[in-house]
Each structure stands twice: as C-alpha cells, then as structure tokens.
Amino acid sequence: MADARPFHWEYDAPAVAPERFLVTGGSPLEGTIRVSGAKNAALKMLAAATLTGERCRFTNVPEIEDVRAMTETLSDLGVVVDHPAPNTYEVSAGDVDWLFVPLEAAAKMRASFMLLGPLLSRFGEVVISNPGGDRIGRRPVDLHVDAMRALGATIDYRYGYYYAKSNGRLRGSEIRFPIVSVMGTENAMLAATLADGQTVIRPAAQEPEVDDLIAFLQKMGADVERTYPDTIEVNGKRRLRGAEHSVMPDRIEAGTFAIAAGVTGGHVILEGTDCDTMNALVEVMGNAGLSVSCGPGRMEVDARGLGPGGIKPVDVETGPYPALATDIQPPTTVLLTQANGDSKVHEAIFEDRLEWTGELAKMGARIDLNGPQRAIIHGPSKLHAATVEISDLRAGASLILAALAAKGTSSIGGAHHVRRGYENIERKFLDLGARIERVQEGGSKPA
C-alpha cells in the first residue's frame, strides 16, 4: 500500500441549522409506543453485508442519523444501497471499488470502524480513519487492530489513518482480549468469517446485539457460534451468501421510555421489545419501587400513585452484559434524582460518562462527583426548567427525561445528537402526552 497521505475526500454535507428541543414538563406520560430496531445491531449488520457480493435485506432498521451515515459511507465505497420502504434496507456489495473510509465518515460515528474487519477479510486491504463518535471517554481501537494482526494482517498507522493489508486470506487464530469489547468482538468475528481456519475469541462480549449479529452471519452461511458465554468460535468460509434479517428491538430505547414512565409518575406500555435482554434494568426499576411487568414482546411500567418520595434510592454499577448497560446509566441517573434518599452510581465503562451531570445540575439535581466515574445522587430533587446543552446521544435523551419531570419549559441544545440513535423520539414522546417540539436555533420549526 502506498506510503503517501490518503486522498482527502471532500464530503459535501447539507448545511443544517443547529436544533433544540423545547420541553414543558410536569405531566405524567401515559400510553403505548412501539420500540424501534436496535441501533447497535443494525449498524454492525450493514457493515457485515460487505462480506458478500450478494444482496442482503434488513427489516426493522431504525430510521436514525447513524444509519443514514453508514449507508452513505457504503454508497461512497461503491456498495449499492436501496431503501425500498421505511425501516427496510437492501445492500449489494458486488462492486466495492473504493477501499477507503475517510475522516469525514469516521467523524460522524464510531461504528464506521466496523468496516475494517469485513473489508480487510474479503478484499485484502483497506484504509480507514480513526473513528469519531460520542466524547464520553477513551474508546481506543487498539483491540480491533491487534485482533486483525492476530489474524495475519499488516496494519500501519499514519496521518490519522490505519493502512491494513493481508497477504492472501487472513488466517484463523486465537484472539484474547485484555478486556471485554463489544465492537472489538464483532470486528474480529466479521474478519474471521472469511479467514482460513478456526478463530476462537475470548473473552467475547455477551451483549444481545452480538448474538443478533451471529444470527445474521449464520443466515449468510458463516460457521460461527457462541460455544460458551464468553467464547465465540468461527470456522472460516471461502464465500458467504446474501441473507435477510429482522433487526432485534433496541433495548436502550426501550429502557429510556421505561424510565420516562418512572421519572414522570406515568404509565407506559412498550410493544415490540423483550424484557429478557433488560434484566439488570428491570431489577433496578423494581428495587426503586416501580411496577414492571413483562410479556411476550411487551413491557409495562406503572409509576402511578407512588407520590412524592415514592421512588426508593438504589446503588447501580454499569458493566458488560448481563450487567447494567453503560448506555442506560444516564437515564437511570435521572430516575435516581427523584428517589427518596441518596443513591450511588458507578460508571465502570467510560471514564467521562458522568460529565453530562453538570447540565443536569443546572435543572436542580443535587449530584456529587467522587472522581470521574462515581457519583452520589441526592434525592429527591425538585427539578426546574433550564437551558442546557446535549454533549452526547444518551445524555441528550436523559436531559429530555429530566425536562419532562421539571416544572416549566426547558430549552435543550444539540438535538442532532439524540437523532443519531433514537427514531422519531419527539413523535413517540408526543404520543405519550409529552409537550415537546424540535426547533431550529432561531426558533422556527425544522423543515
């Protein structure tokens, strides 16, 4: 691969005025909504579709900004991406003539780095930028790179880009991660599907989205399975075929709306979801005194009648699945501001993920940070309206929850962060009786 700097691809993104959410709180949420497909599964499946030249069809894909960014990136590589119906995408990677993922694509979303494994394994080379994504702490891709090297790839890092190349097919190997990494597990798994021989991945992430990706790969003809809870084994194939798959429900979206019922003292029914993937959160909500009931494809949260101080304090700690997901920690923190007593939060995954609580404090939350990853939430707090700024996707949804529990109308800047991962979030809140609208910074409604 050439030693020169990569060609600087200019992406002509449409100019979009900054947007804000205006949220008037004080009313319990009541009603039923359907949960969208999982962001963290859909993005990986779109990347996995490049492992074959045949058509792959995905349904229940969330209509979110990250999906749009991923499909645009695929199209720029020469992949044919069709969008024949809402929540349905078809991907045909027969001709990939531009094995270069530029900075502009990587800056929009971290998941662009998921193209490393499949493109390297199928085509033998790729140049890919260091990824972007939410600024919630160090999220190094060294684990991904080391996994590719274990499979026989040569990877150099120059000028912000990884130059990856293999001499023929990648070779199956044992990949041992020093820590559990969801995307690292998935990238290694995708690369190994076309490698020569067997690959064993330990410790493999146990998240349900990983198993949903495994299910899709099996439909493609890949020989991949989880042989132990923390072990995935892959026997490489020379060729994979096209397949069709329905993306699993988004457990983070489901958890966000479930917590919204608790924060506002409401009653919310979630359809198209699965409580089995949210056992840790269900336990936290139960310990907090919320009524949670589960059925096939259905979850119901009832916080009516709890009254002031009816929510109990709970100590929580995030961790790899099956522990409480780091992505659901920010909404859970908002819930704990309404508990009758002190709660402790230990964010064990990302060291900067509690920084957003400074914005929550502007709304009246009483929070003491004990280092970058631990907090004491003093409750109950009487939340009030404020002007706040969203710093990342999950913090954004959480500030909306806080505004729904607060008195008055809050102005929440950085709405685009939320639209990266939640499909029609304001529409769903409106369907539950919330008073919320998205406006441009000048005050007009978006076109």
Whether 360 and 398 map to the same domain: the answer is yes
Give the model confidence (pLDDT) of 86-136 as tens digits. 999 999 999 888 899 988 877 777 889 999 999 999 999 999 998 754 343
In Å, how far from its chain's centre is CA 342? 29
Whole-number pLDDT of residue 444: 58
Q: How far apart are CA 171 and CA 181, in angstroms?
A: 21
Whole-number pLDDT of residue 98: 84
Whether 156 and 289 map to the same domain: the answer is no
Number of helical (H) and strand (E) elements in the chain, helices listed first? 14, 24
Whether 118 and 262 map to the same domain: the answer is no
Whether 389 and 276 map to the same domain: the answer is yes
Whether 228 and 261 map to the same domain: the answer is no
Whether 328 and 434 map to the same domain: the answer is yes
Whether 236 and 264 map to the same domain: the answer is no
The CATH number linked to 171 is 3.65.10.10
Residue 224 belongs to some domain of the structure = yes
Q: Which domain holds residue 274?
A: 19-36+249-440
Overall number of domains in the chain: 2
Reduce the DSSP state of residue 312 to 3 states and report it: coil
Whether 170 and 223 map to the same domain: the answer is yes
Residue 3 belongs to some domain of the structure = no
Whether 144 and 270 map to the same domain: the answer is no
- Write down which residue in 226, 246, 266 finishes a domain: 246
Q: How far apart are CA 121 and CA 124, in angstroms?
A: 6
Give the model confidence (pLDDT) of 170-222 as tens digits. 999 999 999 999 999 999 999 999 999 999 999 999 999 999 999 999 999 99
Of 13-17, 74-78, 147-151, highest mean pLDDT: 147-151
Over its C-alpha atoms, the chain yields an Rg (Å, rounded) of: 22
Residue 406 belongs to some domain of the structure = yes
DSSP 159: T
Whether 241 and 258 map to the same domain: the answer is no
Q: What are the b/e assignments for 361-397, b being 16+ CB within 10 Å?
A: bbbbbebeeeeebebebbbbbebebbebbbbbbbbbb
Give the model confidence (pLDDT) of 329-345 as tens digits. 999 999 999 999 999 99
Beta-strand ranges (E) seen in 260-363 are: 267-271, 291-295, 298-302, 316-317, 342-346
Q: How far apart are CA 77 and CA 3, in angstroms?
A: 21
